[in-house]
Amino acid sequence: MKRRMARALLVLLFVTACSPPAPAPVQRFGFTPRWAYQPWISKDISTGPDTFDFVGGFEARDIPVGVVVLDSPWETNYNTFVPNPSRYPDFEAMVENLHGRGVRTVLWTTQMLNESSFDVEQGGDTYPGPADGYNEAKRRGLFVNDGQLAFWWKGQGGGIDFFNGDAKTFWHAKQERVLKVIDGWKLDFGEEYLRVGDQLTTPATGVKVKTAQGEKTLQQYSEAYYEDFLTHGRAVRGDQYLTMVRPYPRPTGFPGRFFAKKEHAPIGWVGDNRRDWVGLDDALDHTFRSARAGYVAVSSDLGGYLDVDDLNVTGPKIPFSQTNLVRWTAMSALSPFMQLHGRGNLTPWTVPERPDETVSVYRYWAKLHAQLVPYLYSTGEHAYRGKGEVTLRPIGDEASWPRDYRYLLGDALLVAPILDDTGRRDVALPAGARWFSWWDASAAPLEGGQTLTSLDFTDRARIPVFVKEGGIVVADVKDDATRLGSAAHAGQLTVLAWPAATETSFTVYEDVEADSFTLTARQGQVKLGAAKKGAVLQLWSDAAPGSVSVDGVALTARGSKAELDGAADGFVVAPGSKLFWVKVKPKVSGAATVNWN
């Protein structure tokens, strides 16, 4: 008996030794989690209580918040990755509380470890002595450029060598505590300040970064920096972890370039623009360059970050403009990434001009952005999987962008930002399709290929938005803050479609793991690839339908949208509108076909 057991054990050991190892979890680098498409907020010089007040201020005004960024200073030194207990006395409990409210937490950092640190901003901290770990890293040779100090805007220190395995192990260990609770990093451009001798390691000087693997260009070092933070974060936390990085910006005093590879840029932020029309132009230019290069989820700090001229930082402050802020808010809401972040730490209710109007406008656009998460996420997934273009699609070539900056958001939406105080602009409608006004449900379609001149959008709550014929938009609607539905839509799929004569389609991705399903639309018919949760459809028809059916079964005409909301299914035509509503009850089999005539 003992001999048979020993033989069996030997066989088991042999088979185990010869069996291939279990496959490691797949890391999707080209991927933006669904939660990252929710509205973001951020401010400088914060504390735990202030963070709760900040988030709570939005919640009290019924403005959605999905992510809060804690910018510098939040840690004991640059960069220890240890929350400063005087600012955040119970950091883990704060993050847990925010998670319970549906708000993710992202922390600012860089790749620098300082020998001495400072905050130039009013209300910042003082830092006696070097950051914890600096002396060890210096002694062990874990910095680039032989440990030469680099002076940057938070002090002077060394850049971690991402081409040195020991340096990366050291750096990852320092991140361990905070990495277990937060949801991502906001990575800033400390690498621009690296020096060899008295020269910056920039493309302009031709000086390269000295690493454990020999000389590397600044571009190679940047890409290694951003890749390492994402790779390690996702190895520890999984695919729902992200990094917020710079795709194409022109940082103050430096030439423009692409910082992180697009596959290492779950969120691309072209920040630090001025808070005026010059800043909005720069933000759009940098966003367009990034999108054209293949970055999927990009945008800027809405309203601009800098309150001074970036070429004259000691000069007078740039005057605040509420008009510029609300125009920028609208553009950001109709982008993959929406974030409020400015040096002045303004909120919609504390602006010096028209705060009540600002809150109302900001609420509308933040609600719309949150409702569009299924559309934005699905369009992004389509791009990541190599099945379509990126989410924000600049129209025209680079030479044509200034003073225009029209773009498509996915296949369906045409956005034309307001670019000055007049509130007026021309909008050229792309040829090859008809277009519908987002704002006028009774308007006839407009032929593409024409230019609409001097459109009046002096109402600061609106900017020009058009929908392409054949367009399909999916949304998550939970209230009546926008025209996309009501509280009765919660828990169901909301589908907006403007069917064309020929069939168009849209693929919906519910999350990374779930199977996708497809919606198709043509005049007189919409097919839902899945309706397990039920669906509410808003459809365009030139003539009001006399009958509507689902899978051949006629639906009851309801007297009002409110009546339809209270019914299991049915349809209703709004008087004076070319849009009508259809409600489809949940189906066990999933798929459903809606016909009308």
Based on the fold, state whether residues 98 and 82 are members of the same structural domain: yes
**96 within domain boundaries:** yes
The length of the chain in residues reads 597
321: Cβ contacts below 8 Å, ≥ 6 apart: 275, 276, 353, 421
Question: Which single residue is written with the structure tokens 């001999």?
Answer: 3
C-alpha separations of 1 from 8, 13, 265 in Å? 11, 18, 60
Based on the fold, state whether residues 93 and 213 are members of the same structural domain: yes
| CATH code assigned at 501 | 2.60.40.1180
Based on the fold, state whether residues 443 and 515 are members of the same structural domain: no
Domain containing residue 109: 76-217
Tokens of 466: 């058009």
Based on the fold, state whether residues 448 and 530 are members of the same structural domain: no
**134 within domain boundaries:** yes
C-alpha separations of 377 from 52, 282, 389, 390, 535 in Å? 28, 26, 13, 11, 18
Grouped pLDDT means (10 residues each) for the chain, 597 residues = 36 32 46 97 96 98 98 98 98 98 98 97 94 98 98 98 98 97 97 96 93 98 98 96 96 88 96 95 98 97 90 82 98 98 93 98 98 97 93 98 98 98 98 97 95 98 98 98 96 97 96 80 97 95 95 97 98 92 93 97
Give the count of domains, the chain. Answer: 3
Last residue of a domain, one of 186, 217, 248: 217
For residue 366, the tally of other CB atoms under 10 A from its CB is 27
Based on the fold, state whether residues 455 and 518 are members of the same structural domain: no
Based on the fold, state whether residues 152 and 167 are members of the same structural domain: yes
The pLDDT, as a whole number, for residue 24 is: 39
Residues facing residue 407 across a β-bridge: 394, 415
Based on the fold, state whether residues 546 and 420 are members of the same structural domain: no
The pLDDT, as a whole number, for residue 313 is: 67
The pLDDT, as a whole number, for residue 214 is: 98
Based on the fold, state whether residues 187 and 90 are members of the same structural domain: yes
Last residue of a domain, one of 171, 196, 217: 217
Based on the fold, state whether residues 178 and 83 are members of the same structural domain: yes
Last residue of a domain, one of 166, 184, 217: 217
Based on the fold, state whether residues 209 and 80 are members of the same structural domain: yes
| CATH code assigned at 123 | 3.20.20.80
**459 within domain boundaries:** yes
Q: Round to whole Å and give the CA distance between 416 and 414.
A: 7
**3 within domain boundaries:** no
User: 157 burial class (0-12, 13-18, 19+ CB within 10 angstroms)?
Assistant: buried
The pLDDT, as a whole number, for residue 310 is: 66
CA dihedral 436, 439, 441, 442 (to 10 degrees): -90
**171 within domain boundaries:** yes
**63 within domain boundaries:** no
399: Cβ contacts below 8 Å, ≥ 6 apart: none
Q: Are the CB atoms for 286 and 278 separated by under 8 Å?
A: no
**312 within domain boundaries:** no
For residue 426, the tally of other CB atoms under 10 A from its CB is 14
The pLDDT, as a whole number, for residue 512 is: 58
Helix axes 355-371, 322-333, angle to 10 degrees: 10
Q: Round to whole Å and give the CA distance between 96 and 181.
A: 8
Based on the fold, state whether residues 475 and 592 are members of the same structural domain: yes
The pLDDT, as a whole number, for residue 15 is: 30
Based on the fold, state whether residues 211 and 83 are members of the same structural domain: yes
**453 within domain boundaries:** yes
The pTM assigned to this predicted structure is 0.94
